[in-house]
């Protein structure tokens, strides 16, 4: 098999110094990632030295990096033909096939490589992955056996064998593979998987014993810590569960992001009554995380969301301010502060929170657009149309097709019966971009109604009804008004009644 040095020495002995020098120049260009220049030189050399495998190899690789896969395949195959014992060439061709999704051809080349080096575990592991992609699990298992004849019992091999056997419905055999490994070696990973298996089969005492054994080898092994905690939670042993979480929080050997991600997922997937029922224990955990790990963003965000879920708006507002001081580039904390202010009817505070977002975030970000929209909506609620429309105009300067602002701006103009042509043009943009959005259709149809273009408004509302308009009391009532204006009074009554029922709920 040729190495780079062998290739270069071979070229050095080629007749004609000019060819040798041009080849070396091309290799230099290739090394500097100047693939187009190298390809140009190598293309000429391929015609001058048609039996030189190295020229075709580098020509193939240049085409590979230039995205010319057909040409890359042609030249790499030629390099392999000229030097069939060169593993480097075959592996490069195999990587090309893999990138193209041609797994069968990839496997064939790796099998050829392995036949030449039957104890190369790197090739064996590559084939394990490829066989798994093909669903050839018997080949996966036999290859794992071959690996262990070289390496002896191996944790990676054992875990892979376990996963394959489970996947193919051979659960007892899978568990036995873990047991056999555990009889000779001590592994927190294997013990934790054994515990997971026993927990799934509701053998709780055995599962906890296995988790504890895993932790005796590594007290910070997160899968064992979290697995034991989850078992207690799923079995309703909540006192023990929170005791385990207290230990988890205090364990400084476990990375903070592991803890905070677990707590965040646990709360986001919890049943409706879980947070109110256990709010004190949860808050103790979250406060500890924020105190112990002030630089952990997930912990800060989780406590803010937890306070919001409980409606503890004043505490949430304070926590948002603290968090934004620690993470000044995370304007989401100001968004949540605005929510807290709104729920306390502190509308000035809501506006100020959004103004701070505009000051802190890059001008063209979604956060700034949303903040301008929030300010506009709030000023409209406060019956200050001048400031409301000014905020909307600022948003539209940044993004003229920003649909949420276009819709609200147009709708509020329609409510005031002002600038209806401008309102119609803005609303038209929203439905052109979102033709099945019932909220935007409602706005457009209502502006047409205000312009007394009832015949045009009717199909707009009919379309809105198909895409969620029936869930909006306002949209139903608007449609009733259009039908009434068209003299369809019986149909109008139906939609008025539907609107009243929605409002009564």
Domain boundaries, the chain: 1-85
Query: From residue 485, how far is each of 366, 480, 497 by CA, in Å?
Result: 40, 9, 17
Residue 57 three-state SS: helix
Residue 371: is its pLDDT beyond 80?
Answer: yes
Q: Specify the DSSP class assigned to residue 228.
A: H
More confident residue, 14 or 133: 133
pLDDT exceeds 70 at position 16: no
Residue 184 contacts residue 177 (beta carbons within 8 Å): no
Q: Above 80 in pLDDT, residue 7?
A: no
Share of the chain above pLDDT 70, in %: 97
Q: Report the pLDDT value the prediction gives residue 14, as an integer from 0 to 100.
A: 43
Q: Is it the case that residue 433 has pLDDT exceeding 50?
A: yes
Residue 230, classed as helix, strand or coil, is helix
Per-residue pLDDT, 20: 83
Query: Roughly how many angstroms between the first and final C-alpha of the chain, as a whole number?
Result: 80
What is the C-alpha to C-alpha distance for residues 376 and 424, in angstroms, rounded to an integer? 19
pLDDT at 12: 44
H/E stretch holding 458: helix 454-466
> Residue 77's pLDDT band (boundaries 50, 70, 90)?
very high
Q: Rounded to the nearest 5 degrees, what angle is found at the Cα of 376, between the Cα atoms of 406 and 471? A: 60
Local confidence band at 1 (pLDDT 50, 70, 90 cut-offs): very low
The Cα 11–Cα 22 span in angstroms is 10
Between CA 503 and CA 474 the distance in angstroms is 9
Q: What percent of the chain has pLDDT over 90?
A: 91
- Band of residue 13 on the pLDDT scale cut at 50, 70, 90: very low
Query: Residue 108 is encoded by which pair of tokens?
Result: 């064939």
Higher pLDDT, 376 or 362: 376
Report, as an integer, the average pLDDT of 359-367.
89
Which stretches of 83-120 are DSSP H helices? 87-99, 103-116
- Rounded distance, CA 4 to CA 240, Å? 63
Structure-token pair, residue 291: 């105190």
User: How confident is the model at residue 8, as a pLDDT?
Assistant: 45
The whole-angstrom separation of Cα 472 and Cα 453 is 22
- CA within 13 Å, CB half, 303: 26
What is residue 17's predicted lDDT score, i.e. its pLDDT? 53
Q: What is the tens place of the pLDDT at every residue in 90-118?
A: 999 999 999 999 999 999 999 999 999 99
Average pLDDT over residues 173-190: 95
Give the per-residue pLDDT at 261: 94
Q: Are 203 and 179 in contact (CB under 8 A)?
A: no
Percentages helix, strand, coil for the chain (3-state, rounded to 5) are 80, 0, 20
Output the CA angle 141-147-149, nearest 5 degrees.
110
User: CATH homologous superfamily of domain 1-85?
Assistant: Tetratricopeptide repeat domain (1.25.40.10)
Look-up of token digits 């080949």: 139
pTM over 0.85: no
Q: Is the pLDDT of residue 364 over 70?
A: yes
Whole-number Å distance between alpha carbons of 405 and 131 = 53
- Say what the pLDDT of residue 186 is: 85
pLDDT of 11 over the 60 cut: no
CB 211 within 8 A of CB 228: yes
Residue 276 — pLDDT band, cuts 50, 70, 90?
very high
pLDDT reading at 4 higher than 80: no
How confident is the model at residue 75, as a pLDDT?
96
Mean pLDDT, residues 29-36: 94
pLDDT, mean over the chain: 93
């Amino acid at each position: 098999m040729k190495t780079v040095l062998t290739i270069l020495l071979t070229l050095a002995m080629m007749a004609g110094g000019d060819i040798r020098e041009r080849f070396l120049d091309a290799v230099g260009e290739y090394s500097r990632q100047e693939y187009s220049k190298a390809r140009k030189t190598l293309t000429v050399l391929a015609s001058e030295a048609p039996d030189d495998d190295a020229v075709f190899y580098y020509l193939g690789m240049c085409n590979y990096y230039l995205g010319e896969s057909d040409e890359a395949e042609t030249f790499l195959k030629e390099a392999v033909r000229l030097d069939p014992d060169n593993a480097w060439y075959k592996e490069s061709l195999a990587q090309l096939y893999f990138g193209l999704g041609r797994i069968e051809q990839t496997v064939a080349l790796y099998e050829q490589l392995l036949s030449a080096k039957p104890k190369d575990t790197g090739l064996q592991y590559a084939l394990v992955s490829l066989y798994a992609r093909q669903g050839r699990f018997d080949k996966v298992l036999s290859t794992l056996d071959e690996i262990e004849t070289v390496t002896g019992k191996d944790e990676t091999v054992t875990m892979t064998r376990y996963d394959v056997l489970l996947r193919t419905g051979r659960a007892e055999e899978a568990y036995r593979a873990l047991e056999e490994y555990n009889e000779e070696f001590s592994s927190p990973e294997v013990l934790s998987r054994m515990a997971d298996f026993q927990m799934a089969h509701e053998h709780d005492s055995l599962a906890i014993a296995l988790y504890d054994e895993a932790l005796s080898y590594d007290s910070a092994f997160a899968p064992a810590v979290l697995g034991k905690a989850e078992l207690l939670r799923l079995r309703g042993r909540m006192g023990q569960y929170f005791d385990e979480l207290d230990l988890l929080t205090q364990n400084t050997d476990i990375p903070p992001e592991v803890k905070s991600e677990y707590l965040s997922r646990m709360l986001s997937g919890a049943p409706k009554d879980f947070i109110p029922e256990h709010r004190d224990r949860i808050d103790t955990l979250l406060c500890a995380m924020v105190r112990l790990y002030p630089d952990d963003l997930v912990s800060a965000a989780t406590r803010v969301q937890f306070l919001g879920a409980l409606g503890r708006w004043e505490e949430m507002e304070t926590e948002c301010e603290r968090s934004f001081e620690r993470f000044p580039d995370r304007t989401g904390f100001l968004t949540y502060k605005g929510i807290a202010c709104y729920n306390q009817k502190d509308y000035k505070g809501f506006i100020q929170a959004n103004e701070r977002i505009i000051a802190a975030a890059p001008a063209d970000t979604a956060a700034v657009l949303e903040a301008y929209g929030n300010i506009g909506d709030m000023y409209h609620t406060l019956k200050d149309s001048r400031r409301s429309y000014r905020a909307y105009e600022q948003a539209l300067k940044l993004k003229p097709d920003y649909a949420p602002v276009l819709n609200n701006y147009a709708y509020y103009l329609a409510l005031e019966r002002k600038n209806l042509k401008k309102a119609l043009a803005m609303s038209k943009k929203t439905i052109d971009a979102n033709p099945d959005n019932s909220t935007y259709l409602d706005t457009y149809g209502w502006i047409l109604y205000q312009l007394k273009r009832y015949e045009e408004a009717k199909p707009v509302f009919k379309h809105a009804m198909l895409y969620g308009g029936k869930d909006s009391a306002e949209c139903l009532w608007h449609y009733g008004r259009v039908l009434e204006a068209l003299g369809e009074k019986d149909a109008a009554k139906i939609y008025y009644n539907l609107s009243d029922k929605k409002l009564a709920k």
